[in-house]
Structure 1
Amino acid sequence: MKLWRAALWLFLPGMARCMEPVSLSLGAISIIAPLFSYYWFRGSPHDCKPLERAINTTALQVDFDDKIYGQHLARLVVLKGVSGFMKNKNPKKPLTLSFHGWTGTGKNYVSQILAKNIYPDGMNSQFVHQFVATLHFPHAHLIDKYKDQLQAQIRNGVKACETSIFIFDEVDKMLPGLIDAIKPFLDYYENIDGVSYRKAIFIFLSNTGGGKISELALDFWKNGKKREDIKLSDVEHHLSLSAFNKKESGFWHSSLIDKNLIDYFVPFLPLEFEHVKMCVRAELQHRGHAVNDALVTKVAKEMTFYPKEERVYSVKGCKVVTAKLDYYL
């Protein structure tokens, strides 16, 4: 008996096991086909979350409190912006967030947490689509092809699930003009060719504006003010101008900014020594190790900080904490 028949034999009721091999084969098809169709095509019942099922704001806030450090503005904007959008049964346009700040400050982490709180499979969900500029769009001479591919992927993604999430990483490394290919999907159209994009979420991650954000944070620190006193209004306008005017931003002269299609420019502040220590503790707990305060401090002190004299902010945020712990553990 062939392997697949042997496997099937185990799952058949006793009477079916008495059938002739030919009958068994035909019977197997009639039994397996519906099951195959059911499990293959039905997907997870939680895959495409309807907009009416509002996001659990409390759970999202707990995740931010436990895993995101020193980013009061990002927490506030994402919590309010996303929860308000998800509760709106008839939004006028997709939700569009643009995250800005130096590497290691939590931009990717926040987008991952957000995806996880909307879809149980998080970044592995078939309705969460991630594009990395240097990986997916590396060649300038292929920009027209990239535009067509990008539009097709967004169109097919939203057809499959109206609440799809699209994450664009390394936007500052994206080919100039490429991002404008998705402008129609972010606009106030009721539908485009019969497809509505109003319930989708678009997130852009960029290092653009990191210098301005750091400068502002440092000014607050020098003047004895708390970082929590920094307001979104203090930096949001500067971020939009920086993104629009810098050719390396990916948004250079982009209609997304010119037409005010980005709902929130979200600043990610540089991380201080205490925030880096929090990252080390969290990583130790994630690996199942007891938290050793001496080790936490030692790893944090090995990070590079700026300005050189004051050593206030981590140059790489929490980016290399994992590698540092690998060395010690």
Structure 2
Amino acid sequence: MENYGINGHQQLFDYITEYRNKGLKYDLKKKLFGQQVAAKVILKAVTGFMNNINPKKPLVLSLHGWTGTGKNFASQLIAENIYQKGMTSNFVHLFTATAHFPHEAHINKYKTQLLEWIRGNVSICPRSMFIFDEMDKMHPGLIDSIKPYLDFYNNLDGVSYRQAIFIFLSNAGGEKIVQVALDFWKLGKERFQIHLKHLETALSLSVFNNKNSGLWHTSLIDKNLVDYFVPFLPLEYKHIIQCGWSEMARKGHVPNKKVVIKMARDLNYFPKEERVFSLQGCKTISSRLDFYI
């Protein structure tokens, strides 16, 4: 982790912009494919928090689902609608478990570094965002070290963390989410009939009791400091097509229906015979499209 100094407060207003409620709503609707549950929860949670001039605690979101379902992308959309420079802002901090906290033997050092990093950056910018990726690979106990920063305190040693945003990204709980989606499909129900109430309680319990999760038996869950457990559903064939169209446009190509369909059909789906849900999601589409173009 690098030095958190960024020339004090002088650059603050060069990076922070007014929160774009309509922008986030548009982005979640038009760019985050197949995630109506996650989009609704994220929009309400972030908008409510940003419009609260005196929040009682930081906003804490825990995003769960299989790889390729849009968790990282959703956190990017949040950042882009709060900070002028989005993910490249000096006030957005991304931690990846395998890169930043690789060795279990160094967990005490990581705890100290993490506490100092968060405190230093929130001291500079109260509206700092911290994103923790690969929570399912994080050593149990590490994330508990930041519990005081997520709790209902006016300040700790002169620093208030109430305006900060913490986002956890994890594959843990993905199986539970997939099972709910499968159950709905088997009953002939539509995807839009799945709501947060069908997933949140079971998801939080699944993550809390998962020994391979960085949130295993964490006090953050036990003390109800995670505001929302946000489920990301497995993507269907039609969503892969949407991802393909979007990625072709992003690469500067004229969207080609034959190319996108060929790419989408060659991916793996489950159940095996019906081929309803994508195993990879949109994660590999960018590189795969290069093969078909």
Under TM normalisation by the shorter chain, which class is it?
over 0.9
CA distance in 2, matches of 1:218, 1:272: 11
- Say which SS state the counterpart of residue 69 (structure 1) adopts: coil
- Say which SS state the counterpart of residue 265 (structure 1) adopts: strand
- Say which SS state the counterpart of residue 183 (structure 1) adopts: helix
Is structure 2 residue 228 aligned with structure 1 residue 260?
no
Structure 1 stretches of at least 4 aligned residues deviating more than 4 Å after TM superposition: none
Out of 116, 119, 136, which is 2:83 matched to?
119
Is the 1:213–1:235 contact (alpha carbons within 8 Å) kept by the matching residues of 2? yes
CA distance in 1, matches of 2:214, 2:9: 38
Please report how far the alpha carbon of residue 44 of structure 1 lies from its aligned counterpart in structure 2 after TM superposition. Answer: 5.9
Q: Tell me the equivalent position of 1:242.
A: 206
Out of 179, 189, 214, which is 2:143 matched to?
179
CA distance in 2, matches of 1:143, 1:84: 35
Out of 135, 158, 163, which is 1:199 matched to?
163
Q: Tell me the equivalent position of 1:46.
A: 14
CA distance in 2, matches of 1:243, 1:135: 22
Which consecutive unaligned segments of at least 5 residues does structure 1 have?
1-38
- State the one-letter code of the partner of 1:188: F
Is structure 2 residue 78 aligned with structure 1 residue 104?
no
Out of 272, 289, 303, which is 2:236 matched to?
272
CA distance in 1, matches of 2:15, 2:287: 34
- State the one-letter code of the partner of 2:274: E
Task: Provide, for residues 37-70 of structure 1, a one-character-per-residue CA deviation record: whole Å limited to 9, x for no partner.
Answer: xx99832633245xxx4x2211111111221100
- Say which SS state the counterpart of residue 120 (structure 1) adopts: coil
CA distance in 2, matches of 1:169, 1:45: 27
Out of 271, 283, 286, which is 2:250 matched to?
286
The farther-off stretch of 64-73 and 105-114 is 64-73
Please report how far the alpha carbon of residue 85 of structure 1 lies from its aligned counterpart in structure 2 after TM superposition. Answer: 0.4
- Say which SS state the counterpart of residue 132 (structure 2) adopts: strand
Task: Provide, for residues 176-234 of structure 1, a one-character-per-residue CA deviation record: whole Å limited to 9, x for no partner.
Answer: 10010110000001100010000000000000110010010011111111111111011
Please give the root-mean-square deviation of Cα atoms over the aligned residues, in Å: 1.3
CA distance in 2, matches of 1:151, 1:42: 24
Higher relative contact order (CA 8 A, sep 6+): 2
CA distance in 2, matches of 1:246, 1:78: 24
Is the 1:48–1:161 contact (alpha carbons within 8 Å) kept by the matching residues of 2? no
Task: Provide, for residues 260-280 of structure 1, a one-character-per-residue CA deviation record: whole Å limited to 9, x for no partner.
Answer: 000000000000000000000
Structure number with higher helix proportion: 1
Is the 1:116–1:123 contact (alpha carbons within 8 Å) kept by the matching residues of 2? yes
Q: Tell me the equivalent position of 1:28.
A: none
Is the 1:46–1:119 contact (alpha carbons within 8 Å) kept by the matching residues of 2? no
Residue identity (%): 56
Out of 93, 114, 118, which is 1:129 matched to?
93
CA distance in 2, matches of 1:177, 1:168: 14
Alignment size in residue pairs: 287
Considering only CA atoms, is the larger Rg found in Structure 1 or Structure 2?
1
Q: Tell me the equivalent position of 1:17.
A: none
- Say which SS state the counterpart of residue 46 (structure 1) adopts: helix
Out of 315, 319, 325, which is 2:283 matched to?
319
Superposed, 1:150-189 pairs within 5 Å as 150-189=114-153
CA distance in 2, matches of 1:40, 1:240: 38
Q: Tell me the equivalent position of 1:212.
A: 176
